[in-house]
Chains A and B, each alone.
Chain A
Amino acid sequence: MSDHKPKNTTGTKAPKAYGWMAEYPDEHKLLEAARKVRDSGYTDTDAFTPFPVHGIDEALGIKPTVLPFIVLCCGFTGLCLAVTMQYWMNGVDYMYIISGKPMGITPASVPVSFEMTILFSAFSTFLGMIALNKLPRFSNPVFTNPRFDRATDDKFFLYVSASDKYYNRDSVKELLGGTSPDVLDEVVEDGSPAELPKFVWLGALLVVLTGLIPLMIVLNIRESFSEKPRFHVFLDMDFQPKKKADQQTTVFADGRTMRPQVAGTVGRGQLEEQDAFYLGYDPNDLAATVKMTPTRLVSLQDGAAQPPADAPATQPPAATDSAAAPATAPTANATQPPAAAPMPAAEAPEKPWLTELPIEANEANMKLGELKFQIYCSACHGYAGNGDGLVHKRADALAQGTWLPPTSFHIDRVKAQSVGKIFNTISKGQGKMAGYANALTPKERWAIVLYVRALQRSRDAKLDDIPVDKRSSLEEAGSK
Chain B
Amino acid sequence: MPSLPLPSAVDLARAQFALTVVWHFLFPAFTIGLASFLAVLEGRWLFTGKAVYLDTYRYWLKVFAVAFAMGVVSGLVMSYQFGTNWSVFADRTAPILGPLLGYEVLTAFFLEAGFLGVMLFGLARVGPRLHFAATCLVALGTLTSAFWILSANSWMQTPTGHTMGADGRFAPADWWAIIVNPSFPYRFAHTVTGAYLTTAMIVGAVGALHLLRDGKNPRARAMFSMAMWMAALVAPAQLVIGDMHGANTYAHQPAKVAAMEGHFETRSGASALLFGWPDAEAGETRGALGIPGLASLYLTHDLNGTVRGLNDMPRATWPTNLPLVFWSFRVMVGLGLLMIALGLASLWLRWKGRLYDAAWFHRLAVAMGPSGLIAVTAGWTVTETGRQPFTVYGLLRTADSVSPVAAPAVAASLAAFAVVYLAVFGAGIWYLLHLFNQAPHVHEAGPPTGVPTRTAGITPAPALDAPAHGESRPALQPAE
Decide whether A and B assemble into one complex: no
Binding site for B on A (CB under 8 A): none
Residues of B with Cβ closer than 8 Å to A?
A: none
